[in-house]
Amino acid sequence: MTIKQQLLQICNERVDKRIQDYKEEIHLIKEAIESNDKGNSEDDDSGNGKLLNDLEKNMAYMNDALKAKDFLKQIKTNVNSTDAVLGSIVKTDSMNFYLATSIGKIELENKEYFAISLSSPIGQLLKNKKQNDRFEFNQTKYVISEII
């Protein structure tokens, strides 16, 4: 398995875990709302207000995770480009980036990669850059040494 395939697999696994966690949380919140409804004979809905708010938040988070999962399906690990594009590994003089979705740090074969989205601020800076290009992010200067 290539490094790109391994990174994509890790991203998919982490997104799947997020989706599963949100599903479980939504299920628990729905159970709590049902329990409150059964045990509450009065017209007092104050307990359900917070639960409904939490339910709405978790459903939005899950929707975002599902979109990330669909987005990851667009990545082709066999495409080689000299430009930084979706699915590229961008190695710089100090960090390695994987242009996929915002997952954060991935450790693989004793190296660190930061999975980032092309729509993130640093992803926008990296987009379509080439080897030896320079960019600055958060007052740190980078030089691209390789794009895989």
Q: pLDDT tens across 29-70, in order?
A: 999 998 887 766 555 556 788 999 999 999 999 999 999 999
Q: Are residues 8 and 66 in the same domain?
A: yes
Number of CB atoms found within 10 A of residue 63's CB: 12
Q: Are residues 56 and 107 in the same domain?
A: no
Identify the domain containing residue 18 by its residue range.
3-72
Q: Give a yes or no: residue 107 inside a domain.
A: yes
Cβ-contact 109, 93 below 8 angstroms? no
Q: pLDDT tens across 81-129, in order?
A: 899 999 999 999 999 999 999 999 999 999 999 999 999 999 999 999 9
In the numeric block, which tokens belong to residue 68?
Answer: 């990330």
Q: What is the mean pLDDT of the chain?
A: 93
What is the helix (H) or strand (E) element at residue 114, kind and residue range? strand 111-117
The pLDDT, as a whole number, for residue 43 is 52
The pLDDT, as a whole number, for residue 40 is 63
Q: Are residues 93 and 132 in the same domain?
A: yes
Q: How many domains does the chain have?
A: 2
Residues 6 or more apart from 75 whose CB is under 8 A from it? 8, 86, 87, 100
In the numeric block, which tokens belong to residue 50?
Answer: 């917070």
Strand partners, 96: 91
The pLDDT, as a whole number, for residue 41 is 55
Q: Give a yes or no: residue 84 inside a domain.
A: no
